[in-house]
């Protein structure tokens, strides 16, 4: 009996059955995701595209539904509202999420990182509607726990707090409070992938915390930041729950057509015009895809480090 080749002693090849079982398990997980993706992603999208390019009788209508939406007197205002909200939302997300993640990373050595991660993530456990209801309570000077602060800022009534000019900032606060915690944890995890040797070399070279963050950590977080911005932009264009609930709570002060999603909802369920509503949805989809493509192309998202 011949001796085994050098270097193979003690190495056992997994049985073919075990390998096949692992492959099947992987296919099973992917198949479950694909079923949900097709059912709740691809099919509704195709359905919306069909309605966007047809009329009520199912006849091809070209771009007439898009023209109807654009001619509506509320359309440009809704575009401006969403654009302004996105500026505030994305700026706050990039600046404060990265800053808080860096702070969390520095505090990890002091034993308080775990508690802070939990506190950051707690607001994200609330559903969107529940989060808005909490903020409606906080923003009403009559019952708010920060009523002293609101009155010091000159706000004596709920209507003054939710004045139209304040809404982009208020929606940004609500969105940040709800969604930033998860991104802070993601950024913290990305910071942990940076080799300690690199950080130690920077410290030996005399780099302080600010220089280390600006020249090493933030550049290495670039792809994660781009990923966050893409998803946050897509989610921000879908602004609906916050202005819709605020409109109902303020008896129309905020307006039920503040955002494009609200306008689409109004077309579908108030005007019974599903085709124009679908056209607005398709426009949001196209804008999201184009912006994502620009970010990916300009940032070198898929380039090897």
Q: Mind listing the pLDDT tens digit for each residue in 227-239?
A: 999 999 999 999 9
What's the distance, CA 211 to chain centroid?
A: 29
The topology under which CATH files domain 73-299 is MetI-like fold (1.10.3720)
Structure confidence at residue 242 (pLDDT): 86
Structure confidence at residue 192 (pLDDT): 87
Nearest-angstrom CA–CA distance, 8 and 120: 50
Q: Among positive and negative, which fits the CA dihedral 64, 65, 71, 76?
A: negative
- H-assigned helices in the chain: 16-37, 43-52, 64-71, 75-92, 98-107, 113-121, 128-138, 147-152, 158-161, 167-192, 196-204, 209-212, 218-220, 222-237, 241-249, 260-269, 274-299
Contacts of 24 by beta carbon, 8 Å cutoff, 6+ apart: none
Per-residue model confidence as pLDDT tens digits over 200-221 = 888 888 888 888 888 899 998 9
Count CB neighbours of 88 within 10 A.
18
Q: How many CA atoms lie within 13 A of 269 on its CB side?
A: 8
Contacts of 141 by beta carbon, 8 Å cutoff, 6+ apart: 147, 150, 151, 155, 156, 157, 158, 161
Structure confidence at residue 96 (pLDDT): 92
- pLDDT per residue, tens digit, the chain (305 aa), is 455 555 555 555 556 677 677 777 778 888 888 999 999 989 999 999 999 999 988 899 999 999 999 999 999 999 999 999 999 999 999 999 999 888 888 876 556 666 666 666 666 666 566 777 888 888 888 888 888 999 998 898 888 888 888 899 999 988 888 888 888 888 988 888 888 888 888 888 888 888 888 889 999 899 999 999 999 999 999 999 888 888 887 776 667 889 999 999 999 998 899 999 999 999 999 999 999 999 888 887 777 66
Nearest-angstrom CA–CA distance, 65 and 273: 9
Nearest-angstrom CA–CA distance, 245 and 252: 10
What's the token pair of residue 163? 């004045």
Nearest-angstrom CA–CA distance, 112 and 169: 30
Structure confidence at residue 124 (pLDDT): 61
């Amino acid at each position: 009996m011949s001796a085994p080749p050098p270097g193979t002693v003690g190495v056992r090849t997994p049985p073919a059955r075990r390998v096949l079982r692992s492959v099947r398990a992987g296919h099973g997980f992917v198949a479950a995701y694909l079923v949900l993706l097709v059912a709740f992603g691809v099919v509704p999208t195709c359905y919306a595209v069909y309605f966007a390019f047809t009329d009520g009788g199912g006849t091809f209508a070209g771009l007439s539904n898009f023209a109807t939406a654009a001619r509506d007197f509320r359309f440009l205002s809704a575009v401006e509202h969403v654009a302004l909200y996105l500026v505030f939302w994305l700026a706050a997300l990039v600046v404060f999420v990265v800053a808080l993640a860096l702070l969390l990373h520095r505090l990890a050595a002091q034993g308080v990182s775990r508690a802070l991660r939990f506190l950051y993530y707690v607001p994200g456990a609330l559903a969107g509607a529940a989060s808005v209801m909490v903020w409606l309570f906080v923003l009403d000077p009559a019952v708010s726990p920060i009523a002293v602060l609101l009155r010091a800022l000159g706000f004596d009534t709920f209507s003054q707090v939710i004045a139209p000019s304040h809404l982009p900032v208020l929606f940004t606060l609500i969105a940040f409070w709800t969604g930033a915690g998860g991104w802070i944890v993601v950024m913290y995890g990305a910071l942990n992938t940076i080799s300690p040797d690199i950080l130690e070399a920077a410290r030996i070279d005399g780099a302080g915390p600010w220089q280390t963050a600006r020249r090493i950590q933030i550049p290495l977080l670039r792809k994660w930041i781009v990923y966050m911005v893409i998803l946050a932009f897509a989610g921000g264009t879908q602004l609906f729950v916050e202005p819709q609930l605020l409109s109902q709570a303020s008896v129309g002060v905020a307006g039920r057509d503040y955002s494009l999603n609200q306008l689409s909802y109004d077309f579908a369920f108030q005007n019974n015009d599903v085709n124009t509503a679908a056209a607005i949805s398709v426009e949001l989809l196209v804008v999201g895809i184009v912006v994502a493509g620009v970010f990916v192309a300009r940032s070198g998202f898929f380039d090897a480090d």
